[in-house]
Structures are given as C-alpha cells and as structure tokens.
Amino acid sequence: MTVASPNAARGVAVELIGLRRTYGTVNALDSFDLHLAPGEFVALLGPSGCGKTTALRCLAGLEDPDAGRITIGGRDVTALPTNKRDLGMVFQAYSLFPHMTARQNVEFGLEMRRQDKATRAKRAGDMLDLVGLSTQADRYAHQMSGGQQQRVALARALAISPQVLLLDEPLSALDAKVRTQLRDEIRRIQLEVGTTTLFVTHDQEEALAVADRVGVMRAGKLEQLAAPLELYARPASAFVADFIGLTNRLRGRATGDRAEILGGSVPLLPGSGSGDVEVLIRPEHIDVTPDADGNASVLSASFLGAHGRVTATTDAGEQVLVQVPSASLPDFSPGQRVRLTPRGDAALAVAL
Amino acid sequence: MSQRAAFRRKQTLFRWVTVTAVLAFFVLPLLGMLDFTTKVRRGGRTLATWRTLSHVSEISTRYPALKEGFLASLGLCVITVVLMLALLVPTMTWVRLRLPGLSRTVEFICLLPLTVPAIVLVVGLVPVYAWVFYLFNESTLWLALAYVVLVLPYAYRALDAGLRAIDVKTLSEAARSLGASWFTVMWRIVLPNLRTAVLSASFLSVALVLGEFTIANLFSRRNLQVAMYQLGKSDAKISVAVGLVSLVFAFVVLFAMSFVGSGRGGRRARRAAAPAIPAASPAAAAAKES
C-alpha cells in the first residue's frame, strides 16, 4: 500500500468492518469493508445510490449501521455519537453557520473543546491562512463565493486537528475551474497536515487526481480498491472498467491468457473469462490506420483538444472508439476504410 | 418606454389606493372609538377618560378587575410564548432532522386548532380543567395550556418558514461533527438562525392571547378582554378606551414584527434581490405570516 503523505505518521488508521445498512428493501451497504492506512487519502467513487455517502455517514456517526464495526485509531467508535468521534467534516454546501463570521465558524469547534480565547483566535487565524482566506475572516457566508465558503468549511474541519477528515462531495456545487483549483488545494493541505481522509465523490476525474487509493462502489459493495493507475490499467471487473474512463466492449474468443479481437491478439488480465468473451479495451489501446482493405469504416472523427477520437464500425457491426493524436485526425473522414488493431496492452475479458 | 412609465404610474396608483383602503378599514373603527371616549353628552370634548387611564394607581384602585385582568393576560402571554417555543422549536427541528416522514402529521396536528371553534374547544377542555382546578388551584394562568393549543397554527407557520430558510440538517450535522451536543446545536446554531421566526411566532402568540375572550369567559376566568367586557357594562368609556389601547398595542406589535422580519433576517431576502415591498399594514404582515 502506498501512502504519499510525508506527515502520515500524524494520521491514524480507520477500519470499517462488515458494515450493513438497509433502507427498506435497499441495501445501501452490504458487508462493506474498508481500511484506511494512517494519513491515507481514500476516495469512494460510484454512481448515485451505490452507498458511498452512506459509508461516509456511518463513519461520521450520522447514520447507524445495522451491523458491523468501525474503529478509528484502534478505538471502537461504533456506538459513539458524532460529537465524540473527533472528526472534521466538509459537506457539499451550505454548511457554514450563517450567523457567524468565517473566523467564528472556524473557532466553533475549538470552543466546543473548551480552548481559551487566545488559543482559539490564533488557531483560527492559522487555519484561515492555510486555506488562503485570512483577509476574509470577518465575512459572513453570504458575503463569500461558493469556493471561499468551502475553504472556510475545510479550515473549520481541520481547526480541531481531527483524527479523520471526511469530505462529502465538497466540490460538486462549484463551477469547473474552482473545482479543480480547490481539489488540488485540498490534496496539498491534506499532505501538509497528514490527516487520514475519506473523500466521497461521483466525479472520477476528481477521485483519480487526488486520492492515494480509489474505491469503486456498486450496490453497497466495494468492487475494487486500488491506486488510481492500477484501477485504470487493471480493472477487476467489467463494472469498474466501464465506470472508470472510456471502454470499448468487443466480442472475441479467449484461450488461455490471450484473446482474439479485431484480427489481433491481446493479453488478458487475471480474472478474465474464457471461451466466447467480451473484451473491455480502452480507446487508447487500439491503433487505427487508413487501409482500403481494412476491417472497419470511419463513422466520425472529432477533435477534443490534446487528442482526437475516431469512431468506427467494424465489419462485424461493432462500434469502436479509438483515441488518436490530434495531428493525425485529418487522415480520417467519415466513410473511409480503416484497419483497427489492438496494441497489445492487457485487457479484461468477461465471459458471455 | 413611455408606455412602460405609464404602466408603472398606474401600478403605483393602484398600490396607494389599496393601501389607503386597507388602512381606512382598520383605522376608521379606531377613530370611532377615540371619538366615543372623548365625547361629552351635550357636545364638546373631554380627555377625562384618558386622564384616568394614564394614572396607573387610579386604575388599580377604581377598577381592580381591570388590573387583575391585565396582569392575568400579561402572565398568560409570557407563559404561552415560553410553552409554545419550548414545545414547538425542538419538536419541529427534530422532525426535520430525524423523522421527516412525520412532518405532514405534525403540520396537520398543529393546524387542527384553526378548524375547531373555540366553543367546541372549551367543551372538550371542561373536564380537563375541572381536574386541573380541583387538583391545583383556580388560577387564571392555567388558561395558558389552552392558549398554547390556540396559537399552535400561527406559531407553526412562522417557525416552519424560518426552518425552511436554513438547512437545519447540514448545519446541525456540521455542528455535531465539530463536537457540539444536541443542546448546543439547538441553542447556538438553530435558535440564532431562527431568531426572526421565533420573534414572529412570539408576537403572533402575544397578539392572540391579548385578544382572547371566548375561552376565558366560558371558563369564568378574568383576563383583559373579559375584564373589559365586564367593565363595559358599568363604565363604557373606560372600557372602550382600554380596548383602543390594546388594539393599537397589538397593531404596533404586528407592525414591529414585519420590521424585525426585514431587518437581520432580511439578509437572505436582499441577497435574493427581491424588490422591497413596504409592509402596507399590520394586517398585511399578519396575513403574510399566517
């Protein structure tokens, strides 16, 4: 397990063991296990309703699991109420106390811990400095932008030096540019303070960009928990491959640890099926060349900035997305015959 | 452009006509009362009634029943407001946080008293009060229990509007995660943000309790209105004068309420860039809240 934070020693381990939570007939969490190493930044990713927020709320104590155990730094907190769990939490939006200034918001948690006025003021100043808002200390929430509000919320959560930091889709209410900015800032600050962090999001780019490990959830279960690169290159299931990035599903035949598709052969990832299969292959793992005797014809070619995408239909009638360098995009026009060949990177195959 | 200006002028005119009509509706009876209290039988004016009324000591010696009723109503106001807030604020907050499925039921129960005529309420309350008076004492202040029921619909509406304006769930969860107990959440987070709503609910309750006659009279308890009614039989002028004072007081309270609403709590409204429409009359303010 890789832990990037140089200050990881300050963090504590967090364990969620066999959590179960049902709402009526829906299993929001189903024997859910998750271990966070000290100082680790783990993102939970999944479609809406997959249970990621329930997992975070169970850890926060805002939701009671029907079964299972939660420990923070080796201490069993399953029966502990939220206010005794020593956590910092950042919500989606509107979580700043509207009748308090930014500084008072940040001081609130310290007040709850009965720290004296001077200590509180100093700590609040430091934290607002950390998020770059020391000049806005006396503003109320309604006088700040969404991004600033979330920064204050982060400062407030971290001011109490919590054992665990919980981020519940803190960026989803912000516009794209602020989102990337704040995302990187959250990561920088997390590395600086070394707090074990659980981050819930439905935005895969966000998760892949900042987390040490990303857990992909589906129907209350963890499908795969791995480092972002690993998750992308070696998805454990068709769901993960589909959910993370773009994937082509191509019919082929698997024998041993290889499969035949598009007239070529690709190595298969462990856990792949055999016989008649669907091979999940990334658009950047296929080559496309103009060829009058090719095996496909171009449907469309689109420019996406740094690279282009060619959509082609194979002679078998399957649609394939291929990523090409922008410079070679003019070589392709709709209706043109092309040859598609797999590049030979390992792919996952699922039995039909 | 000129068409639009004409339209706006017309709109302004309409607004003033409406405001004037509404004000006249409320002010004319008051003027009539004022006229009555200052009239002398054979023509001319006297301020004798008002002079009497401005001497507190004289009232309490000459009209002890009035003093008793006034004090009782004052006590009833305070007790009703305190009970109402203690009952409603935590309940409504809790329902919002933990039992959202119950919110319709709670709303229904709170609005129910609107549909029950006071006389029916009294019939239902008679056995209850028979026991209360038997077991404890015959204090008029016990009426506060019935008044809490009576003010429920208005107070509920006012508080509900306040709770709607803030994200109680997120705010209390944020406070909890920072280490606050439930009591601290209520006292430090929910209540300050409900300030305007709590004031509205309280003002409405005060106005209602000050004006309550039916229940008190049917239970043979003497509150302000009952005292005024009884006094009206022997000294109509002083009774009407007191009535005028209490009406004006209630109007002022409701009027003040509409300003409180647009003061601190108005931050949110200003942000929403809603054009400020001046509160036309206390009645409009009351209508807005209920």
Tell me A141's DSSP state. G
- Distance between start and end Cα atoms, chain B: 39
Task: Specify the CATH number of the domain B63-289.
Answer: 1.10.3720.10
Q: Is B275 a residue whose pLDDT tops 60? A: no
pLDDT value, residue B264:
46
The residue ranges of every structural domain in chain B are 63-289
pLDDT value, residue A162:
92
Output phi, psi for B76, to 5 deg: -60, -40
Output phi, psi for A298, to 5 deg: -70, 135
pLDDT value, residue B45:
78
B168 to each of A51, A83, A249, B183, B186, how far by Cα in Å?
23, 17, 46, 14, 10
Q: What is the pLDDT of residues A27-53, one digit of tens each?
A: 889 889 999 999 999 999 988 888 999
pLDDT value, residue A98:
93
pLDDT value, residue A350:
84
Q: Is B284 a residue whose pLDDT tops 50? A: no
Name chain A contacts of B177, Cβ cutoff 8 Å: 60, 62, 82-83, 85, 87-89, 157, 166
pLDDT value, residue A53:
92
Tell me the ipTM for this assembly: 0.82
Name chain B contacts of A87, Cβ cutoff 8 Å: 177
Name chain B contacts of A62, Cβ cutoff 8 Å: 173, 176-177
**Predicted confidence band of residue B81 (pLDDT cuts 50, 70, 90):** very high
pLDDT value, residue B265:
42
Q: The tokens of B38 are what?
A: 């200052």
Quick one: what percent of chain A has pLDDT higher than 70? 97
CA–CA separation, B242 vs B238, rounded Å?
A: 6
Mean of per-residue pLDDT scores for chain A? 89
pLDDT value, residue B1:
57
What number of H helices and E strands is found in chain B? 16, 0
Q: What is the pLDDT of residues A191-215, one digit of tens each?
A: 988 899 999 998 888 899 999 999 9
Q: What is the pLDDT of residues A223-250, one digit of tens each?
A: 999 999 888 888 888 899 888 888 888 8
Is B173 within 8 Å of A89 when comparing Cβ atoms? yes
CA angle A234, A236, A238 (to 5 degrees): 105
A160 touches chain B (CB under 8 A): yes
Among the partner-chain residues B178, B192, B193, the one whose CB lies closest to the CB of A160 is: B178
**Predicted confidence band of residue A8 (pLDDT cuts 50, 70, 90):** low
* Mean pLDDT for the stretch of residues B51-55: 80
Q: What is the pLDDT of residues B110-153, one digit of tens each?
A: 998 888 887 888 888 888 888 888 888 878 888 888 899 999 99
Q: Is B17 a residue whose pLDDT tops 70? A: yes
- Distance between start and end Cα atoms, chain A: 34
Residue carrying the six token digits 């990177």 = A345
- The residue among B125, B115, B84 whose CA lies nearest residue B219 is B125
- The residue among A117, A162, A160, A153 whose CA lies nearest residue A133 is A153
B268 touches chain A (CB under 8 A): yes
pLDDT value, residue A347:
87
Q: Helix, strand, or coil here: A286?
A: strand
Q: Hey, what domains does chain A have and what are their CATH numbers?
A: 8-233 (3.40.50.300), 247-351 (2.40.50.140)
Q: What is the pLDDT of residues B219-248, one digit of tens each?
A: 888 888 888 888 888 888 888 888 888 888
Quick one: what percent of chain B has pLDDT higher than 90? 29
Among the partner-chain residues B177, B193, B195, the one whose CB lies closest to the CB of A82 is: B177
Q: What is the pLDDT of residues B162-191, one digit of tens each?
A: 999 889 999 999 999 999 999 999 999 999
CA angle A328, A329, A335 (to 5 degrees): 120
Output phi, psi for A162, to 5 deg: -70, 160
* Mean pLDDT for the stretch of residues B24-34: 90
* Mean pLDDT for the stretch of residues B35-54: 81
**Predicted confidence band of residue B261 (pLDDT cuts 50, 70, 90):** low
pLDDT value, residue B84:
94
Is A156 within 8 Å of B267 when comparing Cβ atoms? no
Q: Is A58 a residue whose pLDDT tops 90? A: yes
Q: Helix, strand, or coil here: A337?
A: strand
pLDDT value, residue B180:
92
Q: Is B65 a residue whose pLDDT tops 90? A: no
Q: Is A338 a residue whose pLDDT tops 90? A: yes
Are A220 and A68 a contacting pair, CB within 8 Å? no
**Predicted confidence band of residue A143 (pLDDT cuts 50, 70, 90):** very high
Verdict on whether the full-model pTM lies above 0.80: no
Residue carrying the six token digits 């409603």 = B88
Among the partner-chain residues A61, A98, A108, the one whose CB lies closest to the CB of B178 is: A108
